[in-house]
């Protein structure tokens, strides 16, 4: 049993922050704690992605050893940390008990430091369901996930619920597939349960390839057990006993943490032949894709797992009827599955309080491009584009530039201009604007962006005329 500590320094261990030097900062913090004689009082924990990717390495400091059970409003947020900053940071925050102003967040047009994470616009306008554990747990420790009610939904489903009841809750919640198509998840599961077969499969589609999209990667890196629990719940609901997580090999950290989580589940009796002593069996393994964009499409993905060339096949029947190896297969993406444990725990009615009647719940977006606050955000699906881009994202970085458009939906989506900024991010409203919600990549562009070349890049439409205003158009490229 670990010794309780006074302070947890939750240092972001997502891919973005790792690339910015998280490991060096961690080593410096631990060394400074030893020098100051507080290494038995303060602990550095590598969490999953904190979400505020533009400011990495970032860290949230929690002042009490019981913060898992009773999260206080006193979390202090630090950004752009370097090893050279560490001695002063430790002296001010950990010894003198006051925020270190130099590393505190400051809005781009103001000089006032905002130390509390709950007062920072990027965080305070979000509503977390899928990302509820972001920055709070060590993704490589199953104990941390269990402390945050992890696998509680699975226990309830296995001991108190029938498959039909699980399917009904998912259906009543209004959850739609977060991979882009927005197909009702409950209908897919209902069909999977009705079809009888000697073998059925559950697949998690983690082959994220849209430009600017990094939502699924961050969830797999930061909270792998939420995806695994969602998959096992899908197996219980559809009477399936085998699962695959399809992840592109370019996501090595996600693959590593998913494998650690799977191994921990087998050791803990949460995967295998007799889960939680109930007799239900479910086995799970990772399949690494080779990075082909087309393998994000369901039938191409399944052909890839079968060892064939990843190419789409005619959809003569739904995958829930005939999918992987011609067996019934339920395929959902990462974000969809990560919603499931919360829906089972809190109920369909709770989930329906978020979003709209037709687009219930929240949506995770990867906010990037010409924007101050690049990062991962989760908002109810009735939130306007304006609120996401300007309140959460902080607007356009350069003072002389103005917002021009936001690209949604990847290559199948579209560019939404300023006149549509006040529409909500629902499936219906975004479709009427000419784009789609897609998997969640949200690329913001300012008025220096050449829309002709942007259109060619995203393959959204063919431009016959040049705008004549920017260098690429003037020189005919």
Indicate the CATH number for domain 362-474: 3.10.20.600
For residue range 434-457, list pLDDT tens digits in order.
Answer: 888 888 889 999 988 765 555 544
The pTM for the full model equals 0.91
| Domains 7-124 and 362-474 fall in the same CATH topology | no
Give me the residue spans of the domains in the chain: 7-124, 142-352, 362-474
Question: Looking at residue 283, what is its pLDDT?
Answer: 98
CATH (one of 3.40.50.970, 3.40.718.10, 3.30.460.10, 3.40.50.11540) for 142-352: 3.40.50.11540
With respect to CATH, is domain 7-124 assigned 1.20.1070.10? no
pLDDT tens digits along 136-171: 999 999 999 999 999 999 999 999 999 999 999 999
Give the percent of the chain with pLDDT over 70.
91
Contacts of range 76-79, beta carbons closer than 8 Å, 24 or more positions apart: 76/104, 76/115, 76/116, 76/117, 77/52, 77/104, 77/105, 77/114, 77/115, 77/116, 77/117, 77/120, 77/123, 78/103, 78/104, 79/52, 79/55, 79/103, 79/104, 79/105
Lowest mean pLDDT among 189-193, 370-374, 451-455: 451-455
pLDDT digit string (tens) for 36-79? 999 888 899 999 999 998 898 999 998 754 444 444 446 899 99
Q: Is 123 helix (H, G, I), strand (E, B) or coil?
A: helix
pLDDT band at 191 (very low <50, low <70, confident <90, very high): very high
Burial of 6 (0-12, 13-18, 19+ CB in 10 A): middle
């Amino acid at each position: 049993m670990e010794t309780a500590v006074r302070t947890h320094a939750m240092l972001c261990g997502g891919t973005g922050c790792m690339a910015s030097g998280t490991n060096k900062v961690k080593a410096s913090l631990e060394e400074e704690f030893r020098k100051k004689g507080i290494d038995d009082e303060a602990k550095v924990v590598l969490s999953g992605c904190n979400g505020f990717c533009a400011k990495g390495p970032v860290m949230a400091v929690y002042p009490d050893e019981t913060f898992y059970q009773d999260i206080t409003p006193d979390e202090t947020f630090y950004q752009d940390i370097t090893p050279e900053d560490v001695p002063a940071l430790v002296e001010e925050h950990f010894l003198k008990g006051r925020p270190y102003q130099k590393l505190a967040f400051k809005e781009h047009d103001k000089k006032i430091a905002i130390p509390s994470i709950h007062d920072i616009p990027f965080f305070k306008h979000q509503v977390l369901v899928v990302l509820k554990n972001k920055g709070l747990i060590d993704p490589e420790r199953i104990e941390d996930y269990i402390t945050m009610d992890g696998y509680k939904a699975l226990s309830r489903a296995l001991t108190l619920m029938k498959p039909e009841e699980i399917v009904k809750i998912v259906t009543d919640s209004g959850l739609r597939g977060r991979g882009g198509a927005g197909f009702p998840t409950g209908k897919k599961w209902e069909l999977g349960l009705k079809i009888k077969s000697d073998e059925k499969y559950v697949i998690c589609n983690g082959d994220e390839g849209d430009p600017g999209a990094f939502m699924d990667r961050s969830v797999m890196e930061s909270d792998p057990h939420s995806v695994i629990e969602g998959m096992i719940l899908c197996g219980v609901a559809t009477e399936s006993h085998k699962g695959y997580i399809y992840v592109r090999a370019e996501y090595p950290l996600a693959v590593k943490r998913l494998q650690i989580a799977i191994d921990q589940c087998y050791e803990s009796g949460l995967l295998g032949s007799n889960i939680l002593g109930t007799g239900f069996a479910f086995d799970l393994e990772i399949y690494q894709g080779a990075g082909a964009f087309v393998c994000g499409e369901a039938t191409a993905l399944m052909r890839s797992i079968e060892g064939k060339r990843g190419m789409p096949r005619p959809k003569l029947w739904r995958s829930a009827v005939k999918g992987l190896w011609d067996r019934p297969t339920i395929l959902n993406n990462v974000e969809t599955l990560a919603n499931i444990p919360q829906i089972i725990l809190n109920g369909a009615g709770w989930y329906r309080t978020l979003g709209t009647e037709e687009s219930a719940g929240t949506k995770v977006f990867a906010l990037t491009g010409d924007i101050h606050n690049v990062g991962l955000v989760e908002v109810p699906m009735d939130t306007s584009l304006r609120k996401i881009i300007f309140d959460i994202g902080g607007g356009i970085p350069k003072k002389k530039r103005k917002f021009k458009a936001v690209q949604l939906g990847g290559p199948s989506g579209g560019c939404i201009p300023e006149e549509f900024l006040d529409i909500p991010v629902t499936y219906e409203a975004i479709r009427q604007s000419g784009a789609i919600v897609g998997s969640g990549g949200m690329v913001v562009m300012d008025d220096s962006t050449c829309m002709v070349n942007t259109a060619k890049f995203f393959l959204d439409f063919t431009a016959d005329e040049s705008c004549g205003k920017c260098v690429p158009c003037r020189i005919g490229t």
